Amino acid sequence: MKCPVCNYKETKVVDSRLSSEGCSIRRRRECLKCEKRFTTYEYVEQVPLMVVKNDGRRQAFDRSKILSGIVKACEKRPISMEKMEEFTSEIERTLQKKYDREASSKDVGELVMLKLATLDDVAYVRFASVYRQFRDVNEFMSELSGILGKGKVKKK
């Protein structure tokens, strides 16, 4: 590490500790020539995940789009914003683990639907109706009967 004061190329690490979030390491260094101390931070390099759209375009993954879709699907449902943000983070972590650099928008949408199905049936159906772009009532009813067949929806 080069000294920011005298540009000497050799320094020693005086102190090292994790940041409060645990996502970086803070290091206090001392120049072996001028003896000035300075701080450096070490981070894990994140390779941005790209989403491949149906028409072949590539777009950087945007967690706010996932959260926005979940919020719309959960509107007027008894689900806290914290829970929706937690689900969004789970989806993001799953995508980062499963895909090295690129994920199809279809896989992203299916993962959101899978998570929503465990959270709330109404939110799942709302999201699915927009995501799957049902052409008619029969397709919509087919999706609902699939949920009813799994015993997920409580009948009143």
Run means of pLDDT, 10 residues per run, the chain, 156 residues: 94 89 87 96 83 94 94 94 91 90 93 90 85 70 70 44
Q: State residue 156's pLDDT score.
A: 36
80, 71 in Cβ contact below 8 A?
no
What does the pLDDT read at residue 14?
Answer: 96
Distance (Å, whole) CA 118 – CA 150: 12
**pTM of the entire structure?**
0.63
| Those residues with Cβ within 8 angstroms of residue 139's Cβ, 6 or more apart along the chain or in another chain | 132
